[in-house]
Amino acid sequence: MSSSPKIEDTLREAIISQPGVILDDKDVMHALIAANERAMGGNIVDLRGIAMERLESRLDRLEDTHRSVIAAAYENLAGTNQVHRAILRMLDPIEFEPFLRNLSGEVGEILRVDAVRLVLESVQNDNDPAVQRLGEVLSVAEPGFIDDYLTFGRGGHVRQVTLRQVQDASETIYGEKADWIRSESCLKLDFGDGRLPGLLVLGAEDPHMFGPQQGTDLLAFFAGVFERAMRRWLS
């Protein structure tokens, strides 16, 4: 007579009535496959079991990829909504000074950055009263300053959006906040033919807020809207 214990009738009936429960449980299936391999002995290779393990491994990788894609999609959607809200708030003011002050106020808060600075190149000095009043957000620099700043004085191609970490942030741009800035997004601005360029800088205390591995499409869109808004004031 066999000494193998019999399965309880209630458990047997539950399995027969709901076999899908067993098939969907990874731990149970692993136990059954292991028991089957032990019953076959050590001299037999179970190719079907090996194939199942490989398929299971592939399924796990696909599930991980699926979760990563969904997380990235949600992150992109959140970033898009954030930039859209910042643009709508940026366009609310109808006068120049409130427009600029708003950048370092609610617009910066929506974008979750610690500093927003606008740099305009000019052949004139920065003694203009308007520049003095807006010193917390606006600064004037000599022609060529922006390209030098973006390339660290090495020259070469300058992208519209530059994302990078910084160690010693520029006091010319950030003023008293320079010691706290650890990453920045630099948006080079084109105000049209015959006008010198500008630079909109978003600075963050978080060193991982901006980095070269991140996408730039949303910030490029933000820069394009800002350029068009500024052209209205500069005309």
Question: pLDDT tens, position by position, for the chain (235 residues)?
Answer: 445 566 777 777 777 787 777 767 777 777 776 666 666 665 555 666 666 677 777 777 777 777 777 766 667 777 788 899 999 999 998 888 889 899 988 999 999 999 999 999 988 765 666 666 777 888 888 999 999 999 988 878 889 999 999 988 988 899 888 999 999 999 999 998 888 999 999 999 999 999 998 888 999 999 999 999 988 877 6
199 exposure class (CB count in 10 Å sphere: 0-12, 13-18, 19+): buried
Check which CATH number belongs to the domain holding 191 and give it.
3.30.450.40
Write out the residue range of the structural domain in which residue 203 sits. Answer: 95-234
**Is there a domain that residue 145 lies in?**
yes
Strand partners, 201: 117, 186
Amino acid present at 141: A
Residue 136 lies in a domain: yes
Give the tokens for residue 139: 């600064």
Q: How far apart are CA 185 and CA 15, in angstroms?
A: 60
Would you say residue 52 lies in a domain? no
Measured CA to CA, the distance from residue 129 to residue 111 in angstroms comes to 29
Domain count, the chain: 1
The pair phi, psi for residue 130, each rounded to 5°, is -65, -40
Instruction: Kindly state the helix (H) or strand (E) to which residue 181 belongs, with its residue range.
Output: none
